[in-house]
Structure 1
Amino acid sequence: MSYLRRVVDRELDELVPALPAIALEGAKGVGKTETALQRAATVHRLDDPAQRAIAEAAPERLLEGDRPVLLDEWQRVPPLWDGVRRAVDGGAAPGAFLLTGSASPAQPPPHSGAARVVTVRMRPLSLAERGLAGPTVSLRALLAGGRPDVQGKTHVALADYTREIVGSGFPGLRHLSGRPLRAQLDGYLRRIVDTDFEEMGREVRRPQLLRRWMAAYAAATATSASYETIRGAATPGEADKPAKTTTIPYRDVLERLWIVDPVPAWMPTRNPITRLTRSPKHHLVDPALAARLLGAGEEALLSGDDAGPPVPRDGTLLGHLFESLVTLSVRVYAQAAEAGVGHLRTAGGQQEVDLIVERDDRKVVAVEVKLSGSIADRDVRHLLWLRDRLGEDLLDAIIVTTGPQAYRRPDGVAVVPASLLGP
């Protein structure tokens, strides 16, 4: 099969010719190795026991060869990181090293690699990369300001987005559906519990409790529910709740595996907005994992059925998983545009904006996500409230929908079908 270029390839096109060492980081299955292989001249796979044995005995040998040298799953031999760092300090040429890692090592290297190894995050396929439709609205253009023209039509509908939610953005699973897909997702989740935690130096004494905590986190998708709420939901109806000392490491290890992928709270610096919450918004790296943890298939989601542990949420489970799908895509596009992503919520939830995409100069594009094909005035009230607060620092405001057409409302808010938004 031919390689499908990713949005991150545009970043690598700029970075690899200019920098001596690039580390691609992200959860297992997002496509890091395949992307790195397009550029590597020498490949060392550290998940191969034979190559790992060589690396552990003489790590300097793996830094030799035609450049770029790819160290795949480098975290299995942490001394390689310091070897690359020393090679960079010694004058390694641009494009010398590529590293891929599916986890932060259980014992991180003593030196961070700052100013030597530049890290680039990879996530599962965004909607634009899945080829549902040709995007007509560019997030980069919206971030440039000037409120560009917004137009385009799509035949992608609610059922298609639901299929994408459960179908996964892991490239290696895109050809699967039905029972084979479910079996692969189950195996992915089982490996996290049975293998990955141990490799991260954390023994799981009660695997079922970890699995239930992950399901409770999945039920909290696209909410800012407290970790106490999630902990309680993992064991509903039981008086003997798991201790914080048990569940906090769950979150920490899952973040180091890039499975838990929360959106941080946005805190403006130039336009203070009072009473903002600091809680992150919960997301798993792929909404398909959340749907599988909750046992929610396409038909159940489209029927509005609830599933999983009892975590309070506004709206349907499908609505929250759709927001997670859009969030995944926006984060991919924002990274390509050198922008960060947060969310805004005031205390009590009186005002809330799903995603705030922020440039380096602190100017922002505000994004709301609605599981709807049509938009009413009440759907944009939070965006208009934020415009009043930020003034010129709000570059644009958009609402991402499941509808058929992109356009601008008379109040200036852009309405964009999810499949038409791209990098």
Structure 2
Amino acid sequence: MAGYIRRVVDDELDEVLPQLPAVMLDGPKGVGKTETALRRAQSVWRLDDPAQLQIIQADPTIVTKDPPPILIDEWQLFPAVWDVVKRAVDADAAPGTFVLTGSAASRTTTHSGAARIVTARMRPMTLPERSDYEPTVSLAELLTGTRGPVTGTTSLSMSNYTHEIIWSGFPGLREHSGRALRTQLDGYLDRIIDRDVGEVGHRIRSPSKLRAWFTAYAAAAAEAVSYEKVRDAATHGHGEKPAKTTTSPYIDALTDLRILDPLPAWHPGSTHLHRLTQTPKHHLADPALAVRLLGLDAKALLAGDSGGVTLPRDGVLLGGFFESLGALSVRVFAQHSEATVSHLRTYGGEHEVDLIVETGGGDVVAIEVKLSTTVDDSDVRHLNWLEEQIGNRVLDKVVLNSGPQAYRRADGVAVVPLALLGA
């Protein structure tokens, strides 16, 4: 397939497909799931094609009769096909028989696919997947705990990172720029609000209110702010605030569509850490969507302009979007290493760590994301505090920043430009 850019998730699929009968690629629309799945499929059923959908509706089992691997694209448009695949797996389907793709969690699916259909999450492209950025620091290596040297240089500036934030990690948008890119992003957002939420079983009576909530979450990028703060931003200027039961469908719809991608709070298990908040950090699937919802451009972001939007946050927007870009990359790389990602924040905010990458054994790499080009003692104090609390469970301490060079500080903290981090 000419022009295909190999993704980190390709390695995961190459490993699991020869051993498992059914794998689902899950992620927001436009993230590249179909193109990735097509590289492995011999037979294809596209449920967003009305003609093919009609055939499957008449006889859902027809999807099991083609030569494998069988791709069922956008399965959630006819959830009954999920049960067909599950029954085929129960009947000892061979490894690599089914690849499903989905852009939403269907509200009408009645049976879990646990232990039958495994899921691989697919997110927008990381920086190394987007262009000629050559990573020199591996998250997998950081997870070994050897704390070896980190090296490498990059010429990317603050302006370059801002450009990447705006340009998006959705593959189909990378060929556009300027007005064409903005038009494509506007169309993507309009489709989510006007069409996609209905396709997955949500009834939203007021698209304008959904957009207001969407925009409020965009403004809260990389912040662990409360529901009330997001609500106040979404309903700024309204005297009477809506009840949570009224607004929860907005949150559910955007989360089900994989457009909201909240970062959960860390549950440290058996350690003596306590008084940790359980509020997730708010991220959109791609920070470019957040920038577009707020109507901003590179000049406004670099100048610290919020476009007149009420912000449920303390920090500057560009810093939040840079952290979202960092979180996107780290989550992709951590999935490659079978690790999970969360964040840490104590009640009152005395201590917080932007990203906690945790292994199956409970050890962690603690990561701060800083927009600045330089790192000082104040930028690493929370990392060193965490190591004081849990000792050798901290495999490594890292600051991702926008500087030119990767190096280790005397206190052991690895300073890594975001462009140099890879799987």
Looking at structure 2, the residues matched to 263 and 255 of structure 1 have their Cα atoms a distance apart, in angstroms, of 12
Alignment of 1:378-417 (within 5 A): 378-417=378-417
Alignment of 1:6-405 (within 5 A): 6-108=7-109, 110-307=110-307, 309-405=309-405
Looking at structure 2, the residues matched to 257 and 236 of structure 1 have their Cα atoms a distance apart, in angstroms, of 25
One-letter amino acid of the counterpart of residue 52, structure 1: L
Looking at structure 2, the residues matched to 201 and 94 of structure 1 have their Cα atoms a distance apart, in angstroms, of 32
The answer to whether the Cα contact below 8 Å between 2:344 and 2:352 also exists between their aligned partners in 1 is yes
1:310, CA displacement in angstroms? Answer: 2.0
The answer to whether the Cα contact below 8 Å between 1:197 and 1:253 also exists between their aligned partners in 2 is yes
Instruction: Tell which deviates more after alignment, 301-310 or 92-101.
Output: 301-310
Q: Deviations over 1:215-234 (max 9, x none)?
A: 11111111111111111111
One-letter amino acid of the counterpart of residue 32, structure 1: K
Q: Deviations over 1:383-413 (max 9, x none)?
A: 1101101101000000000000000000000
- Equivalenced residues, count: 422
* Residues 291 and 69 of structure 1: CA distance in aligned 2, closer, same or farther (over 3 Å): same
Q: Deviations over 1:137-156 (max 9, x none)?
A: 00011011111220000011
Instruction: Tell which deviates more after alignment, 308-317 or 68-77.
Output: 308-317
SS in 1 for 2:146: coil
Structure 1 segments, 4+ long, off by >6 Å, are none
The answer to whether the Cα contact below 8 Å between 1:295 and 1:308 also exists between their aligned partners in 2 is no
Q: Deviations over 1:308-354 (max 9, x none)?
A: 53234232110000000000000000000000000000011110100
Q: Deviations over 1:95-141 (max 9, x none)?
A: 00000011111311x22011111111000001121124200000011
Looking at structure 2, the residues matched to 132 and 399 of structure 1 have their Cα atoms a distance apart, in angstroms, of 22
The answer to whether the Cα contact below 8 Å between 1:234 and 1:309 also exists between their aligned partners in 2 is no
- Asked whether 1:419 is paired with 2:419, we answer yes
Instruction: Tell which deviates more after alignment, 110-119 or 133-142.
Output: 110-119
1:421, CA displacement in angstroms? Answer: 0.3
The answer to whether the Cα contact below 8 Å between 2:259 and 2:285 also exists between their aligned partners in 1 is yes
Looking at structure 2, the residues matched to 320 and 14 of structure 1 have their Cα atoms a distance apart, in angstroms, of 34
Looking at structure 2, the residues matched to 204 and 87 of structure 1 have their Cα atoms a distance apart, in angstroms, of 35
One-letter amino acid of the counterpart of residue 253, structure 2: V
SS in 1 for 2:195: helix
SS in 2 for 1:95: coil
Q: Deviations over 1:358-403 (max 9, x none)?
A: 0000000000000111111111101110110110100000000000
One-letter amino acid of the counterpart of residue 97, structure 2: A
One-letter amino acid of the counterpart of residue 231, structure 2: R
1:252, CA displacement in angstroms? Answer: 0.8
The answer to whether the Cα contact below 8 Å between 1:143 and 1:365 also exists between their aligned partners in 2 is yes
The answer to whether the Cα contact below 8 Å between 1:236 and 1:309 also exists between their aligned partners in 2 is no
SS in 1 for 2:208: helix
Looking at structure 2, the residues matched to 101 and 312 of structure 1 have their Cα atoms a distance apart, in angstroms, of 31
1:70, CA displacement in angstroms? Answer: 0.3
Structure 2 gap ranges (5+):
none
SS in 2 for 1:355: strand
Looking at structure 2, the residues matched to 126 and 240 of structure 1 have their Cα atoms a distance apart, in angstroms, of 41
Looking at structure 1, the residues matched to 108 and 354 of structure 2 have their Cα atoms a distance apart, in angstroms, of 35
Instruction: Tell which deviates more after alignment, 291-300 or 199-208.
Output: 199-208
Looking at structure 2, the residues matched to 309 and 233 of structure 1 have their Cα atoms a distance apart, in angstroms, of 8
Percent identical pairs in the alignment equals 59
One-letter amino acid of the counterpart of residue 400, structure 1: L
